[in-house]
Amino acid sequence: MKPTYYPEPFRIKSVEPIKMLTKMQRKQKIKDADYNVFNLVSEDVYIDLLTDSGTGAMSTAQWAGIMEGDESYAGARCTRHVVANAREIFGFPNIQPVHQGRAAEKVLLPILLNNKKYAISNMHFDTTRAHVELAGARAVDCVVPEALDTSIIADFKGNMDNVRLDELIRKIDPQNIGVVIITVTNNSAGGQPVSVANMRETRKVADKYGIPVMIDAARCFENAFFVKRRETEFKNKSLAAIVKEMFVCADYFTMSCKKDAIVNMGGLIGCRDKAAFELVKQRCISYEGFITYGGMSGRDLEALAIGLKEGMDEDFLRYRIGQMEYLGALLDKAGIAYQSPAGGHAIFVDAKKLLPHIPYYEFPAQALAIELYVEAGIRACDIGSYMLGNDPDTKEQLKADFEFTRLAVPRRVYTQAHLDVVAAALINIKKRASKIKGYEIVEEPPVLRHFTAKLRPLGKE
Ligand SMILES: *Cc1c(COP(=O)(O)O)cnc(C)c1O
C-alpha cells in the first residue's frame, strides 16, 4: 500500500513542458557545469528541487493582481496592500517591503549588530550567516541537540536550546550580542518547526539580558501548521491566531517572501521600534529603492499582498506538508535515512548515512546531489560542509553538523508522480552507493562559495 498523499487543492490551468535527457547527456552536462548544480541550465533539469525559493506557481488571483500593479515611484497602491496585509497577519506596526530575504538582512542586521560581536540563532540560514559576518559579527548556532541526530523523531527539532542560549549569553557577555534570531521553520536543521512554547522561552531569556529578538520568517506559515498539529495549546486555533502568537515573541522580523508567500520575488522587514524603523527606511532607500517600492515592481508587490494570504491557507498547507510526508514515507520503506520527521519544505537526505565512505571534506551531500542529476535529471543541493565553507579566521574547511542533500519541493508545481520518480532515483542510487566517489574544490570565492565554486571528482571517473 502506498503512503498517504493529500490531493492538490487546486487544478492546473497552465503548464510548462519539461525536457528529459539521457543519462549519457546528463553525465556530460554536469561535467560541463564543473560539478556544481548551480551551473546547470534549467532546461537540462527534469525535476528541479534545488530550492523552494521563488519557484512556486502563482494562482489565478495572483496573476490577475499582476495586471493591477501600480508602478508609481512613490505612494503606490500595491505597497499599501502589502503593508496592510502584513500588519494584519504579523501584528507588527512597521513594515518595509524589500526585494528578497537577504535584502532584508542587508538592511536590518547592521542596525542590530552595530558595534556588537555576535548574533545567536537556533540556526542561521547561509545568507543570514553571511550578513552577520558582513556586519563584522560572528554567527553562533544554538539548536536543540536532537536536531543533530537525523534518526530521532521529535515534534520540534527546530527549537532553540534555551538553556544553552542563557549560558552562551553569559559566557559571551550580553553587551556583545546584537540579536537573537529565531529561524522558522529551521531551514538548515531540515525545515524542522519551532514550538510557540520554545519561542516564548527564548523571548524570556533574551529579555533577561535586554537583547532584541528577530524572527527569520521565511517559512512561518509552515511552522504555524506544524504548531497546530503538534502543540496541544493550539489544536483548535486558527493558523492566523498561531502566526500572531509566534510574532508576539519578536521585536523584528525579516522574511523571504519567495518561500511561504508563494511569490517569485519579494521580502519584508518588520520592526516594532520606531527609531530603528527610521534607520531601516534610510538604508532601504540606499540599497533597495524608495520606501514605497523597496526594490520591487508594483505588480510583484500586488502578487505578494495576495500570496501572503494564500500561503497561510490550511488546505494548501496540509497538501504541501503532506507532499514531504509522502516522499518521506517512500524513503522510510526503502531504508533511506533523512532528517526525520519530514520537514515543511523539503526532505533532507542524510548523505553521511547513504555514503559513509566519503568524509566531510570530500562533500558526500554534494556527491549525492550530482548522482541524483545523473540518475534522473533531478536537481538537489548540498546543505552540508560544502555549503558551510571555510572558517573565516583560519580559512580551514569547516565540518558541518549535517551532510544533507536537500530535496526542496516548489509550491504547487510537482505532482505525486514526480515525487515517485524522486524516490525511485534515490533507491537506485542506494544500490550502487559504495561505488560513488567524493569531490574536491578546484576554485572558490571567499563567501557563499557553493553558488559558484568549481569541483572535480576524486579518483577515477
Ligand atoms: C531563503 C532564506 C533566506 C534568504 O532569503 P532570499 O529571499 O533567498 O534572499 C533567509 N533565511 C531563511 C531561513 C531562508 O530560507
Interval between CA 461 and ligand 1 midpoint (Å)? 35
Residue 293 is a catalytic residue: no
CA 261 distance to own-chain centroid: 13
DSSP β-ladder status, 439-443 and 404-408: unpaired
Catalytic option among 125, 225, 293, 326: 125
User: Is 32 noted as a catalytic residue in this protein?
Assistant: no
Catalytic residue list contains 357: no
Residue tagged 541526530 (cell numbers): 149
- Name the 3-class secondary structure at 11: coil
pLDDT above 90 as % of the chain: 93
Beta bridge partners, 407, equal 347
User: Mean per-residue pLDDT for 405-422?
Assistant: 97
Q: What is the pLDDT of residue 201?
A: 98
Distance CA 6, CA 316 (A): 10
Listing DSSP states for 223-267 in one string gives HHHHHHHH-GGGTTS-HHHHHHHHHTT-SEEEEETTSTT--SS-E
Q: Whose CA is nearest to atom 8 of ligand 1?
A: 101
Tens of pLDDT, residues 204-236: 999 999 999 999 999 999 999 999 999 999 999
Distance 124 CA to ligand 1 centre (A): 10
The count of other CB atoms within 10 Å of the CB of residue 200 is 14
127-183 pLDDT tens trace: 999 999 999 999 999 999 999 898 999 999 999 999 999 999 999 999 999 999 999
* Averaged confidence pLDDT in the chain: 96
What separation in Å is there between the alpha carbon of 259 and the centre of ligand 1? 8
Tens-digit pLDDT profile for residues 262-288? 999 999 999 999 999 999 999 999 999
- Is 191 close to ligand 1, i.e. is its CB under 6 Å away? no
Does 127 contact ligand 1 (Cβ within 6 A)?
A: yes
pLDDT grade for 35, boundaries at 50, 70 and 90: very high
Q: What pLDDT, in 10s, does the model give residues 335-390?
A: 999 999 999 999 999 999 999 999 999 999 999 999 999 999 999 999 999 998 99
Asked whether the beta carbons of 164 and 201 are under 8 A apart, the reply is no
Does residue 187's CB lie within 6 angstroms of at least one atom of ligand 1?
A: yes
pLDDT band at 461 (very low <50, low <70, confident <90, very high): low
Tell me if residue 226 is catalytic.
no
Judged against a pLDDT cut of 90, whether residue 307 lies above it is answered with yes
Closest CA to 84 of 245, 309, 249, 313: 309
Write the residue with the smallest CA distance to atom 4 of ligand 1: 101
**Kindly report the CA angle at 292 between 290 and 295, in degrees rounded to 5?**
55
- CA 297/CA 265 separation, integer angstroms: 10
